Amino acid sequence: MSQVRVLTVEDDAVTANEIVSELTRRGFAVEWVDNGRDGMARAMSDEYDAITLDRMLPGVDGLSILTAMRTVGIQTPVLMLSALGDVDERVRGLRAGGDDYLTKPFDPEELTARLEVLLRRRQAASVARETALRVGPLELDLISRKVRRDGEEVVLLPTEYRVLEFMMRHAGKTITRTMLFEAVWGYHFDPGTNLIDVHMGRLRKKIDPPGVPPLIQTVRGSGYILG
């Protein structure tokens, strides 16, 4: 799974080091810039999953960066950071398009927790907007719950559909039997069960009929991969 990319725009080196160290420790890929002009350029590239943005910056202030992002439709989650903690300043930051506001000084663990909440919220909104999943010649309609390969409908049973949906949401990545079992059946994997083998066998017959390139591959000793 690719790392979550976070841009930190902060002119105070001590604060920036605390942020970068904590986020890196938690597995984030962090880029730091120490001024508003570079921050504006990076933020407008729309290449990040989240941004921590200082309110007061040399060159261009944080509110200007935030306003410019929202004006052109960049919706990257932004956590505003500022020593200006009065209510009016917090309201200004949020009304300009900030997703959250944290007053300095702060605990880096709290910053991380707030970022994680913003990322979960964004992911949930993205999933809610989805109407279909596509992997190569395979299409799954999330509204009608119909599946097609090369335009031809494939009739699946409810459990087969859930297995395929989970695999399509993780296309190109190895899916372990434990992941599949817990996601589809909702409880811990029992090594003694053959449920996964049975349903995967049925799904393969429907998704990968003879004469077409198979989409479902077995990763020996690990699980399966779709794509």
User: What's residue 99's pLDDT?
Assistant: 92
Output the pLDDT for position 126: 66
Q: Which of 16-30, 73-87, 168-182 ranks highest by mean pLDDT?
A: 16-30
Rounded to two decimals, the pTM is 0.57
Q: Is residue 20 pLDDT above 90, yes or no?
A: yes
Q: Do 69 and 84 belong to one domain? A: yes
Q: Which domain holds residue 92?
A: 5-129
Q: What's the mean pLDDT in 141-161? A: 93
CATH of the domain at 207: 1.10.10.10
Tell whether 120 and 161 lie within a shared domain: no
Domain boundary among 129, 159, 187: 129
The last residue of one of the domains, among 113, 129, 145, is: 129
The highest-confidence range among 12-26, 118-132, 167-181, by mean pLDDT, is: 12-26
Q: Is residue 98 domain-shared with residue 72, that is, in the same domain? A: yes
Q: Same domain for 116 and 144? A: no
Q: Residue 122 maps to which CATH number?
A: 3.40.50.2300
- Residues 145, 159, single domain; the answer is yes
pLDDT of residue 1: 46
Pair (88, 109) in one structural domain? yes
DSSP H helices in the chain: 13-25, 36-43, 62-71, 87-95, 108-129, 158-169, 177-185, 195-207
Q: Does position 141 have pLDDT exceeding 70, yes or no?
A: yes
Same domain assignment for residues 108 and 151? no
Per-residue pLDDT for 89 more than 50?
A: yes
How far is residue 192 from each of residues 66, 117, 162, 189, measured CA to CA in Å?
Answer: 54, 37, 21, 9
- Report in angstroms the alpha-carbon separations of 227 from 11, 104, 223: 44, 46, 14
Q: 19 with 117, same domain?
A: yes
107/158 same-domain check = no
C-alpha distances (whole Å) from 218 to each of 51, 95, 135, 170, 173 are 38, 50, 17, 15, 12
Q: How many domains is the chain partitioned into structurally? A: 2
Domain boundary among 66, 97, 129: 129
Q: For position 166, what pLDDT does the model report?
A: 92
The answer to whether residues 68 and 39 belong to one domain is yes
pLDDT of residue 106: 93
Please give the average per-residue pLDDT across 4-12, as a whole number: 95
Average pLDDT over residues 54-76: 92
153 has pLDDT over 90 = yes
Which residue would you say has higher pLDDT here, 186 or 87?
A: 87
Asked whether residue 160 falls in the same domain as residue 106, the answer is no
